[in-house]
Amino acid sequence: MTSLNDQLRSLAAKGGKADSEHPELDWSHPAPRLAFWQRPIASGIVNQFIGGEEATARLCAAVAPQMDLQAARDCLLVQVEDERRHADMYRRYLARLNGRPSQQNLLDDAVTRSLSWRGAPEAALLAFHVIVEGEALAFQETARNQIPDPLFDAMSRQIAKDEARHIAFGRLYLSQSLPHLPLQERIELYRWLRALWFEGTARLSSGPLGNVIATAMPRRWMQKRWEHWHTALEAAGLFDGAEASDFPVS
């Protein structure tokens, strides 16, 4: 059986080659013709993606030295480069829209809180590699519908492939490491993640993309969405069926 370290080394090597293997994007394609009311929405979406990439790069750079396995550190350092490259692509696309860079990153608080967790680094990985990256991947489709542009579509799908690899790293590493954490620490971690989720989505909904987010994830569905992440956290190894009563969904 292949060891966790070997699996992570393979994933890191794959990530290291990803940039050179991605097809070149055609930036000469004409800019999309957007109605006056579509432009601020499109710029807001791109700014939010920029913020997400920058926040995740910051978190991964801080968490990498805490990892015991060198291969896990390598995966996170490759991801830092991915996120920075993605942010540069989004910034270039924002300029294509003649959009203004945002002065506010709505995920900064989530990074700060994740890095302040006094425990195993699994907290930050669960917050970002399972939930934040998962939501970003899901939001890509909404973004492509809001920005009808072949270049944005190609760029979004290219980035999504990298994000899927990041999620795969989180699932692989966490499935092996979480079961070894004490039950009480995992219960506290779950409660912290739940609070982070609801406070974070409330902050996003009150931000410049509130209407878009409310359309994609109406408030009446927020609890249903958390139920989805509750299941994902169980699948990631935070708890099992026998412990489910200690991890209530509401």
CB atoms near residue 134 (< 10 Å): 18
Is residue 106 a contact partner of residue 51, using CB atoms and an 8 Å limit?
A: yes
The CATH fold of domain 4-15+36-240: Ferritin (1.20.1260)
Output the average pLDDT for the chain.
Answer: 87
What percentage of the chain reaches a pLDDT higher than 70? 92
74-119 tens-digit pLDDT: 999 999 999 999 999 999 999 999 999 987 777 788 888 888 888 8
Q: How far is CA 143 from CA 89, 109, 122, 129, 213, in A?
A: 15, 23, 29, 20, 10
Least confident of 2-11, 43-52, 102-111, 227-236: 102-111
Q: Where are the alpha helices (DSSP H) in the chain?
A: 4-21, 38-63, 70-96, 108-115, 122-125, 133-146, 150-177, 183-205, 210-216, 222-236
pTM for the structure as a whole: 0.87
Highest mean pLDDT (candidates 17-31, 70-84, 199-213): 70-84
Phi then psi for residue 165, to 5 deg, are -65, -40
pLDDT at 219 over 90: no
Report the candidate in 129, 141, 113 with the shortest Cα–Cα distance to residue 56.
129
Evaluate the CA torsion angle 195, 196, 199, 205 in order and state its sign: negative
Q: Give the count of alpha carbons within 13 A of 204, CB side only.
A: 29
